[in-house]
Structure 1
Amino acid sequence: MSDEPNRVAERDSTNTQGQGQGRSRGRIADSVQARAQEVLKEDYDHASTLVGDAARSRAYLYPLKGILYFATHRSLWKPLLSRIGPYALLSVSVVTGMFVFTYVPQFAVLVLFNGPLAVFTTVLLILNESSTIINMISRTYLLQDAILDTFDGTLVARGSDNIVREGRQLQPGSDPMQKLGKVLKSPFERFSPKALIRYIMYLPLNFIPVVGTVLFVLIQARGRGQIVHGRWSESQRREWLKKHTGPYTAFGLVATALELIPFASMFFTFTNSVGAALWAADIETKGTSMTDSTAPTLRETAKKAE
């Protein structure tokens, strides 16, 4: 009899503790949910800003403008024509080798994640891998000088000689390509180990059906737009990239998608360089940024950097 009140008290104490723990867990869950909603809102707002900036800048149109401009200016064809043979051999060798030796093992992995879609996602993955290998080899050893001549030749054709003079000598003449002289500073960097590591690090995104492949291309595309300001200093490019991430990514996304097309990658590599030069020339000529705000000219910015 005397133990009964003690047992009742223990039950009441246990119930009270349980209720307290339940309320504590509820507060933690509410806090986590609130934080998650806050993060989602911030990411959504950031993404909306990037999309808005990209839409206003119309940067995604410049790779297409590059195709039209390249097709109508025969003088810009010379660097491309001089590299067609070696590049075609490289492309056929890489793409064929990748499909022969890597399709089956990669399909075996992707089918676990993508199911029937693995047939298509494996093809996209291999094309992406092949494109990266081809670009890495060709841009480093085969096309770098030709792409630079095309980029600078387009700037000269658009009357932006002052941009080109910051990195190479110019000769008198009417033909844009014939005016190009000795290169004093190349704006293009060789394929760096850092870029290769970044590529490998994000490669598993392709295991996610469709969306993962799109995200992978988006990540790879972000840095492509930096070619637009290839003749700026590293600090200047970095500052502009921070302010204009949306336009850069929009340009890079379209450019990257075009260069993923098998056997046409070389052509689009050159037309993308033309598009980048057209964009740089427009920014210099109009003196405006990519989102319609005031921006310094290349020359003024260079003076400030000094």
Structure 2
Amino acid sequence: MKALDGDVRSTSLSGVEIGYSRLLISRAHDEESTRLSKTQNRGLPHLREVTTMAQDQQLRYSSARSFFKANFSPAFIYPIKGIWYFLTHRYLHPLAQTRILPLTLLATCILVLLFMTAYLPVVAFLAIFHYKGSAWVNGTFFVLGIGTLLISILFEALFVDHTQVDIFDAVLIAEGYEHLVKNRRPVSEDIDESDPVKRLGAREKGATFAPFSFRQIIEFAILLPLTFVPFAGVPLFLLGTGYRAGPLLNWRYYALKGFTRKERNAFIKAKKRRFEYMWFGAVYMVLQLIPVLSIMFLLTSAAGSALWSVHVESENGDNLVNEDEDVMPPDYTDDP
């Protein structure tokens, strides 16, 4: 009997121990769950804070990018890019060979005559109210400005304009915008021809790169005395003449786009474009004041203008080739 009692008692104790162990395990599990829940709850505010900071950073980046796009433009780089593009793309070189040497010699002769006859008198006049060195600097820009004016009147519209048209159109074809060129002149469909110049057809009647503008000439002559002003005069002269020259240097683009006069004026006078063209024109004017090389820069600026037009097209989201409308296949249907 005693042995039986001992067995019963032992069995009861084992059951109690098992129940107690289960209770301890359950409590431990509950405590661990509570601890994890608290840890997660403590981490949520931190996670929200990190997410908010990331969103704020992204918003600031987007705002800065929008501000930069709205207020800064790479337009002033494109006359320089045109020089590099012209030098590194050999298909453009034949267009310059027939004209560049004789026109450069004539332009150099004009500048030599101007410096021999007008430079010293101008410097002597400026020395009356200038500081010691500035009279020579401003006198140099004044004589170079007169030379640029004469070269523009004598050579640009008469001898170079058609070459500039071909350069502009060839660059557009090379950059994948032949659909624009096709609006005004034929372009060969020979895909095996890698030379964009050879793909160009005959120019349309009256094709011009930059129209001869009496208004521009008059404004240039009026602004030229700004070079007499010490220090600030030359930059003001370049910006003033660039403001007028910039839109004219992109005239071929307006023709290829088929702009009416009203559309062209609206495009040019848009706030962003107005200042972009001013900077483009100002850098162009700086290049035109460089002796001997100014004729060469007339041609490279045509390449720069074409590259700028490509930039404008891509910026406006017009980088889709306007091909003839393809016949779309019919929608799939299970009906026989």
TM above 0.5, yes or no, is: yes
Name the CA shift for 1:54/1:77 in 2 (closer, same or farther; >3 Å).
Answer: farther
2:202 is paired with a residue whose SS is strand
Q: Is the 8 A contact 1:67 1:272 kept in 2?
A: yes
Structure 1 residue runs of 5 or longer lacking an equivalent are 1-51, 289-294, 300-306
| Alpha-carbon distance in 2 for matches of 1:141, 1:275 | 21
- In the alignment, residue 195 of structure 1 is paired with which amino acid? Q
Report how far residue 73 of structure 1 moved.
Answer: 0.8
Instruction: Name the residue aligned to 2:264.
Output: 237
**What is the alpha-carbon distance in structure 1 between the residues aligned to residue 214 and residue 279 of structure 2?**
25
Give distance in 1, aligned partners of 2:176 and 2:238: 34
Q: Does 1:224 align with 2:248?
A: no
The structure that has the greater radius of gyration is 2
Query: Which of 166, 178, 199 in structure 2 is aligned with 1:179?
Result: 199
Shift of 1:93: 1.4
Give the aligned partner of residue 291 of structure 1: none
What is the aligned counterpart of 2:177 among 155, 160, 178?
Answer: 160
Alignment root-mean-square deviation, CA: 2.5
**Distance between the aligned counterparts of 2:290 and 2:264, measured in 1?**
28
Is the contact made by 1:255 and 1:272 (CA closer than 8 Å) also made in structure 2? Answer: yes
Which stretch has the larger CA shift, 91-100 or 168-177?
Answer: 168-177
| 1:143–1:255 distance in 2 versus 1, CA, 3 Å | same
The one-character-per-residue Cα deviations of 1:28-51 (angstroms, maximum 9, x if unpaired) are: xxxxxxxxxxxxxxxxxxxxxxxx
Q: Bigger shift: 149-158 or 66-75? A: 66-75
2:39 aligns to what? none
Contact 2:96-2:299 at 8 Å conserved across structures: yes
Q: CA deviation at 1:263?
A: 0.8
C-alpha separation between the residues in 2 aligned to 1:98 and 1:196?
19
Q: Is the 8 A contact 2:162 2:209 kept in 1?
A: no
Within 5 A, what are the aligned runs for 1:15-94?
A: 56-94=72-110
In structure 2, C-alpha distance between the alignment counterparts of 1:92 and 1:264, rounded to whole Å:
9
**Aligned partner (choices 144, 167, 171) of residue 161 of structure 2:** 144
**Per-residue deviation, 1:298:** 11
The structure 2 residue matched to 1:215, chosen from 236, 258, 265, is 236
Which of 200, 217, 238 in structure 1 is aligned with 2:221? 200
CA gap 1:165/1:223 in 2 versus in 1, 3 angstroms: farther
CA distance in 1, matches of 2:250, 2:211: 16
CA distance in 2, matches of 1:54, 1:219: 22
Q: Higher mean Cα deviation, 79-88 or 186-195?
A: 186-195
1:48 corresponds in structure 2 to none
Tell me how far apart the structure 1 counterparts of residues 128 and 184 of structure 2 sit (CA, whole Å). 51
Aligned partner letter, 2:314: T
User: How has the CA–CA distance of structure 1 residues 222 and 99 changed in structure 2, closer, same or farther, with 3 Å as cutoff?
Assistant: same
What is the one-letter code of the residue matched to 2:294? Answer: S
Matched positions, count: 243
Unaligned ranges ≥5, structure 2: 1-67, 323-336
Scaled by the length of structure 1, the TM-score of the pair is 0.72
Q: Of the candidates 255, 263, 274, which is equivalent to residue 292 of structure 2?
A: 263
Q: What is the percent sequence identity of the aligned residues?
A: 30
> CA 1:286–1:195 in structure 2 vs 1: closer, same or farther (change >3 Å)?
closer
Deviations 1:191-238 (A, max 9, x none): 332222111112221121121111011111113322235232333332
How many Å apart are 1:189 and its aligned residue? Answer: 4.2
Q: Which residue of 2 aligns with 1:277?
A: 306
The whole-number CA distance in structure 2 between the counterparts of 1:298 and 1:246 is 29
Equivalent residue of 1:169, what SS?
A: coil
TM-score for both structures, normalised by structure 2 = 0.66
Contact 1:53 1:246 in 2 (8 A): no
Q: Distance in 2 between matches of 1:297 and 1:241?
A: 23
Aligned mates of 2:319, 2:88 — CA distance in 1? 31
Q: Cα distance, 1:285 vs. partner?
A: 3.2
